[in-house]
Chains A and B, each alone.
Chain A
Amino acid sequence: MNRPVLKVESLSLEFPHRLGGFPALEGVNFHIAPGEIVGLVGESGSGKSVTAMSVLRLLPEGATHYRRGRILVLDRDVLTADPGQLRRMRGATASMIFQEPMNALNPTIRIGRQIMQVIRTHEKRVSKAQAEVRARQLLVEMQVQDVDRVMRSYPFELSGGLRQRVLIAMAFSCNPSLLIADEPTTALDVTVQAQVLGLLRERARERGMSVLFITHDLAVVSQLCDRAYVMYAGRIIEQGATREVLQKPLHPYTRALLQSLPEAAEPKHYLAAIPGTAASAADRISGCSFRPRCALATNSCSQLPPLAPSRRSSEHEVACWRSEDTIETDGSVATAPKMMAAPGGDPHAPPLLRLTDVSVRFPVGHTWLGRPRSHVHALNGVSLDIRRGETLGIVGESGCGKSTLSQVVMGLQPVTTGEVMFNGRDIFGQSQADLKKLRQNFQIVFQDPQGSLDPRMSVEALISEPLVVAAELSKVEIRERVLDLAQRVGLRPEQLSRYPHQFSGGQRQRIAIARALALQPDLVVLDENTSALDVSVQAQILNLLADLQQQMNLTYLFISHNVAVVRHFADRVAVMYLGEVVELGNARDVLERPAHPYTRSLLAAVPKLEHEAGLSQPLRNTELPSNRRLPTGCFFKDRCIHADHNCTTRQELRGLSDGRKVRCVQTGGFSLQQEVVSA
């Protein structure tokens, strides 16, 4: 075997603290062979990002204590390198790209200069002109269309996808042997993610570059990586070829993680959530750290299991005492999934909420006379019914108007034109006092409960605040209601006196849900409310929401960019693109047999767990058209592979035979039976 490009040997690391220090990694061992793409998977707290950062010693020096181990990049130990050696390695021997392309480039320096700076830092003899030629070449390789403009641009002038390409170009600029990619596409839309991942893989393969790919997304690993390491609580618990690990997982955690994915369950069935929250090394669990959450744990698990080759294959290693005993007898750890609830929403009853031809536009800038210079067209003629008792999913990428739609439904964003009727009453035709009263009937849960819960209020105060404001109940009654709500969402009474920061992300989401339900609303808007959660916790929250819907007779407007979650959780779905609904219908029909070309590209871009599925780049043009100057005719035509002369007129939502509506004249020509195309 070739000598590894990266070899990490029993690395233990902690963050020192007055009270004793928080361990983050415990004896991490892994290696990457030349040209290999290796995934490092785990949930929050697993130590995957700490591992990635420590390879180039990027963690804050004063606040990090490398307790034990070695990190060998091309046989040179990073931990004993002096600052000068370290600088020469960074960017030249091994480079790194990060999660947030929006902030990872310096906002005040032109793109061209930022790339050239890296080249000229490591290769002193390269002239400015030569560096510029190389920077341009790199951008061309990254399929940047308009290299001249991009070279001269500042980061804020570029889209997220373009910025990530620039960052990859920068990382490739000195031809390093190793690229460390820390969740590089997590913040991007799926269609952009597909493009960026495809590029990353191709360019790395061409150069024979090794890649360490850090992610929480198992599907991305399956499509990109040759081998995968699974981390939990600062340790590696399973390792092997991607296909082995994902198709025949050995560790109970890996198995449970795969089963908690919405893709793993039938739509509208309970997900096999893992109880509790992901542990970190700082929890100092003795023995196997997954023990407290593991259904298979026995007394032997109080001893730390070593990472050892499995009986099945010496290449597939697992750190578990029990996996060998259970794998033969019982393939699945979880119990058989149950149906969540009968699909809700009677199509013939009057809708709970009806949007008729709703448009919203925002003024941008102003001329010196104070008139707006242009408008952002956030919503362009949206007509939707939300049926009582159903879950209506809204899917779309950034800029599609789904957040504006949630604001409109909540009565927070006045419409420019159109009408929003709640239970037959026009929301925006009410007086302020009546609207306030009406608002009790619809509530919202946001993505980030850390930002949406006041950190200075106790949980009890947070949940009871809507009741206090409504001023209809006595103190005793409020207390009773709060206890009832807490119990429904799975909070213990003694937790009510605590404050938001003392809870994990999943528990904070429970608090936010309890608060939203306090006034017994009819409609709850769930705005990306599981997007920030680990998958095992996401499964818990989705199960909980399903139960609450049934118990409290709720209607959900479920907004998400995550197609798998929507397919699993929603009864009907509306796919949005540039402020329009392009496809609307039964969630299963639409997301399994999409009709609109945009829905098709969107679904094709979603990474899949099947290793064979591969990556696809389904869009013609890479950039989303501006919503300041809307395209004429069909909004999607410039990116659509099927577009022809019929598409130059504005498209209407037309009904298809199976009851769905599609905004595309072409759909008649496609076979609806055709499954999702995966290139």
Chain B
Amino acid sequence: MSFANMIRRRLLFLLLVVFGVSLVTFVISHMIPGNPAEMIAGDKAPRELVEKIYKDMGLDRPVLVQYFKYISNLLQGDLGTSIRTQRPVLNDILIFFPATLELAIVALSISIIFGVPLGVISALRKDKVVDHIGHTVSVTGISTPAFWLGLLLIYFFYGKLGILPASGRIDSSIAPPAHVTGLYLVDSLIAGDWPAFKSTVNHLILPALTLGFIHLGVVMRQIRSAMLEVLREDYIRTARASGLSPTRIVLDHALRNALIPSVTIIGLAFGDLLYGAVLTETIFAWPGMGNYVVLSITALDFPAIMGFTIVASTVYVLVNLMVDLLYAALDPQIRAIG
């Protein structure tokens, strides 16, 4: 199957997912006790005000009508208005999501850039000192709680050494770059704003290291075991018997095949980074989705929660699509069967 075909089919699937998710979240939000109108009006608001808000929000109309309204708004890109911030949910998400995305991408890059070579080296030096050190690093990474590691890093690099900032995305004295993608690294480069870029990098280092280290262990172990398996394959023996150099055998013949099963793990790690970083975001006061969602939940801010859920599932499907495309790029057999 061609790439185009695969993408087309997945996008169709994405529509179904979004529809399903919207239905589920809508039903749940209407089943949970608690009156959003009361939340908006406040504790001491008069009865009439609550009822007026209730009517304004359309909550008195039949559920089906409400759902239909919601869906038709959704199709026009309107996710509703947040009860808590009183801003359109879409605007909120456009502000907070890029922060999380940027952090996730940098963290994942760290775990791949360090995890893949470490995994390869551990496999080549199986049961040697390097392998044992690698094993210790990966177990430490997997078993260390993110918040603890985050606090530790803050203690040293901010508290003791004072060389790196501990909170936020950018120095408060520097204006954020003009909004293009929402990713400060990219936006500051587009704007040619060097101080903003430097400050963004400085702010990213500690939270990205925290998250990256946790996933580094997973990536490394996956690559190590995949490499060990591949190195036993007959075609590696053929390559050795043909006199190819060890570098070529490892990088061209073995790693290419070892990456195929690892792509899944990396995809899962990315999903995890996008929505599992609440604690890390809190510690580093990172203005990302994690914080936003927690606040929305405590405020029973249904439009925000639903908007977030839909965006989250969309991104998740897109990440999976990327994983599959990567698969197909790496493995010609998958390209053929689709």
Q: Residues on A close to B: CB < 8 A?
A: 56, 58, 87-92, 95-96, 98, 100, 103-109, 117-118, 121-122, 154, 156-157, 167, 170-171, 365, 368
**A105 with B333, Cβ < 8 A, contacts A118-B244, A365-B338 known:** no
What is the total number of residues of chain B having a CB less than 8 Å from a CB of chain A?
27
Docked Cα-Cα span, A157 to B331, in Å, equals 13
Q: Are A108 and B331 in contact (CB under 8 A)?
A: yes
A sample of 6 inter-chain contacts (CB < 8 A) reads: A91-B241, A98-B237, A103-B235, A106-B239, A117-B244, A365-B337
In this complex, the member of B234, B235, B337 whose beta carbon has the largest number of chain A beta carbons within 10 angstroms is: B235
Chain B residue nearest to A365 (CB atoms) is: B337
Q: Residues on B close to A: CB < 8 A?
A: 9, 12, 233-235, 237-245, 248, 252-253, 256-257, 260, 330-333, 336-338
Q: Are A105 and B238 in contact (CB under 8 A)?
A: yes
Contact check: which of A89, A98, A122 meets B238 at CB < 8 Å? A98
Q: Are B235 and A122 in contact (CB under 8 A)?
A: no
Docked Cα-Cα span, A105 to B332, in Å, equals 13
Q: Are B242 and A156 in contact (CB under 8 A)?
A: no
- Minimal beta-carbon separation of B46 from chain A (angstroms): 56
Q: Are B330 and A121 in contact (CB under 8 A)?
A: no
**A103 with B234, Cβ < 8 A, contacts A109-B253, A368-B9 known:** yes
- Minimal beta-carbon separation of B149 from chain A (angstroms): 36
**A89 with B235, Cβ < 8 A, contacts A154-B332, A154-B333 known:** no
Docked Cα-Cα span, A447 to B196, in Å, equals 68
Docked Cα-Cα span, A104 to B234, in Å, equals 5
- Minimal beta-carbon separation of B229 from chain A (angstroms): 12
Docked Cα-Cα span, A167 to B333, in Å, equals 20
In this complex, the member of B233, B253, B332, B337 whose beta carbon has the largest number of chain A beta carbons within 10 angstroms is: B332
Q: Are A95 and B241 in contact (CB under 8 A)?
A: yes
Chain B residues closer than 8 Å to A109, beta-carbon distance: 252-253, 256
Q: Are A107 and B242 in contact (CB under 8 A)?
A: no
**A107 with B241, Cβ < 8 A, contacts A98-B234, A365-B338, A368-B9 known:** no
Docked Cα-Cα span, A90 to B245, in Å, equals 11
Chain A residue nearest to B337 (CB atoms) is: A365
Chain A residues closer than 8 Å to B331, beta-carbon distance: 107-108
Docked Cα-Cα span, A156 to B241, in Å, equals 21
Q: Are B238 and A104 in contact (CB under 8 A)?
A: yes
Chain A residues closer than 8 Å to B234, beta-carbon distance: 98, 100, 103-104
Q: Are B333 and A107 in contact (CB under 8 A)?
A: yes
Q: Are A87 and B332 in contact (CB under 8 A)?
A: no
Chain B residues closer than 8 Å to A89, beta-carbon distance: 243
Q: Are A91 and B243 in contact (CB under 8 A)?
A: yes
Contact check: which of A87, A107, A121, A365 meets B257 at CB < 8 Å? A107
- Minimal beta-carbon separation of B21 from chain A (angstroms): 21
Q: Are B235 and A105 in contact (CB under 8 A)?
A: yes
Chain A residues closer than 8 Å to B235, beta-carbon distance: 103-107
Contact check: which of A100, A118, A154, A368 meets B242 at CB < 8 Å? A118
Chain B residue nearest to A105 (CB atoms) is: B235
Chain B residues closer than 8 Å to A170, beta-carbon distance: 238, 242
Docked Cα-Cα span, A171 to B242, in Å, equals 7
Q: Are B243 and A107 in contact (CB under 8 A)?
A: no
In this complex, the member of B242, B248, B253, B332 whose beta carbon has the largest number of chain A beta carbons within 10 angstroms is: B242
Chain A residues closer than 8 Å to B338, beta-carbon distance: 365
In this complex, the member of A100, A105, A107 whose beta carbon has the largest number of chain B beta carbons within 10 angstroms is: A107
- Minimal beta-carbon separation of A60 from chain B (angstroms): 10
